[in-house]
Amino acid sequence: MKIYADNAATTALSDTALTAMMPCFQEVYGNPSSLHSPGQRAAEKLAEAREIFARCLNASPREITFTSGGSEADNQALRSAAALGARRNQRHIVSTKFEHHAVLHTLEALEREGCEVTLLDIPPDGVVTAEQVRRAIRPDTCLVSVMFANNEIGTIQPVGEIGAVCREAGVLFHTDAVQAAGHLPIDVEALHIDLLSLSAHKFHGPKGVGVLYARQGVALTNVIHGGAQERGRRGGTENLPAICGAAAAFDEACAHLKGNAARLTALRDRLIAGLTAIPHTVLNGGTEHRLPGNVNVCFEGIEGESLLLLLDAKGIAASSGSACTSGSLDPSHVLLALGRPHEVAHGSLRLSLSEYNTEKEIDYILSVVPEVVGYLREMSPVWDALERGERPHLI
Ligand SMILES: *Cc1c(COP(=O)(O)O)cnc(C)c1O
């Protein structure tokens, strides 16, 4: 059996997205900026894609900018808000310790350029509160950036409440909604969002395309300088095939949101119940405010990397956290922020499901993981010490 359970890293392209992309390669290949008819046909497709995103987010098409992905959208959102703040001498930014590196590393760059950043602690359930945000806002705060749902532990943040706090304080609010888009309803008006990032390859669209929503009146600073594309806010000929694929995938995901979420939640909860029944295992993040497809656990006494390799050999593609931290020996910054000790954080497993996963696959995962965890523990000197009582159990 071959199972793909790493959908938080990326997803398979949907048939709908592929079908929407195909004409853009050899038929509608004009440059949307050209005045001739082939160009205008391309411009029409671009406008249609923009309308789809606007409709699904309850925004207006003028508020939608296409980027090269979620990372670029995050970079541009934060840089734009920082530039607007600097004009008013506001250089303080509030964010959280468990943001994606596209946000955290941009904040580090902004700090080197004179901004001051406050990163909020992560409560044990993985849900930051609006009250934490309220307390962190100062007179010189120009931006709050809190992700919609965490990419490792899947916890959903109270975005609407945080948006309301920011609106009241007159501070811009950005949310990295890459993991939420296509899985949770997003209404930028109702949630008081000023800036929002999303990425198509996380909801069965193509890689290399994202969207930055910027509320009317929130001026964007260019990250990519060039031509007048995207109303001058991002230079470079638009990646029309990818943009059309992204829009089709988003439209489809939003149309089936409720049904998909209900089915995935049931699969997720079976996995959580089965995996947490393994002794000395803990679920990372609470169960209540959690993405429908996310499971993230720590098994004491094993190395996540070894677990992944053995699971891969059994046909299961999973992850220890984010794709970005694999390859480095550091444990996940998200699990550390959640308060897991280093040795526990090392034994993490993230299974992220999509609509394409089946009940049978869950049965298979639940038959394989306990066996592999048991095997690794048998070979582990750390586990041996735990079992002999030479080391205290941390889980
Ligand atoms: C994947 C991801 C990103 C980066 O998106 P790319 O399109 O791969 O650049 C940013 N934020 C979160 C939360 C993500 O999961």
- Indicate whether residue 176 lines ligand 1 (CB < 6 A): yes
**Is residue 174 over pLDDT 90?**
yes
Query: Ligand 1 test: best mutation among 99, 179, 198, 207, most atoms within 8 Å of CB?
Result: 179
What pTM did the predictor assign? 0.97
Closest-CA residue, ligand 1 atom 14, reads: 178
CA–centroid distance, 40 to ligand 1, in Å, is 31
- Which residues, in sequence order, are CB contacts of 282 under 8 Å at separation 6+? 276, 297, 298, 344, 395
Tell me the average pLDDT across 86-106: 98
pLDDT of residue 327: 53
pLDDT for 264: 98
Please give the number of the atom of ligand 1 that sits closest to the Cα of 209: 7
Residue 178 beta carbon below 6 angstroms from any ligand 1 atom: yes
Instruction: Kindly tell me if the per-residue pLDDT of 392 is higher than 90.
Output: yes
Question: In the prediction, which pLDDT does 322 show?
Answer: 57
Q: Is the CB of 157 under 6 A from ligand 1?
A: no
In this prediction, residue 330 carries a pLDDT of 80
Q: How many CB atoms lie within 10 A of CB 218?
A: 16
- So what's the pLDDT on residue 58? 98
Question: What is the pLDDT averaged over residues 299-328?
Answer: 85
* Per-residue tokens: 199: 């990425």
Q: Closest ligand 1 atom to the C-alpha of 72?
A: 9
CA of 310 from ligand 1 middle (Å) equals 26
CA–CA separation, 395 and 392 (whole Å): 9
238-258: average pLDDT: 98
Specify whether the CB–CB gap between 349 and 299 falls below 8 A. yes
| Mean pLDDT within 290-304 | 96
Compute the distance from residue 71 Cα to the ligand 1 centre, in Å.
6
Q: How many CA atoms are closer than 13 Å to the CA of 29, on its beta-carbon side?
A: 4
The Å distance, Cα 177 to ligand 1 centre, comes to 9
Say whether pLDDT at 388 is over 90. Answer: yes
Distance of alpha carbon 154 from alpha carbon 352, whole angstroms: 9
> Which H/E stretch holds residue 66?
strand 64-67
Q: What is the pLDDT of residue 331?
A: 87
Check if 166 is active-site.
no
CA 224 – ligand 1 centroid, Å = 18
CA of 294 to the centre of ligand 1 (A): 15
> Average of pLDDT values for 257-280?
98
Look at residue 24 and tell me whether its pLDDT is greater than 90.
Answer: yes
Q: Is the CA virtual torsion 23, 26, 27, 31 positive or negative?
A: positive
Please give, one letter per residue, the 3-state secondary structure of 217-243: CCCCCCCCCCCCCHHHCCCCCCCHHHH
For 313-383, strand residue ranges (E) read: 316-317, 348-352
Handedness of CA 99, 105, 109, 112 (dihedral sign): positive
CB 75 less than 6 A from any atom of ligand 1: no
* CB of 159 closer than 6 angstroms to any ligand 1 atom: no
The response to whether residue 100 sits with its C-beta less than 6 Å from ligand 1 reads yes
Q: Which atom of ligand 1 is nearest to the CA of 99?
A: 13
284 pocket-lining for ligand 1 (C-beta < 6 Å): no
User: Is 216's pLDDT higher than 80?
Assistant: yes
Q: Is 70 near ligand 1, meaning CB less than 6 Å away?
A: yes
Confidence at 323, pLDDT banded by 50, 70, 90: low
Q: What is the mean pLDDT of the chain?
A: 96
Query: Mean of the pLDDT values across residues 6-23?
Result: 98
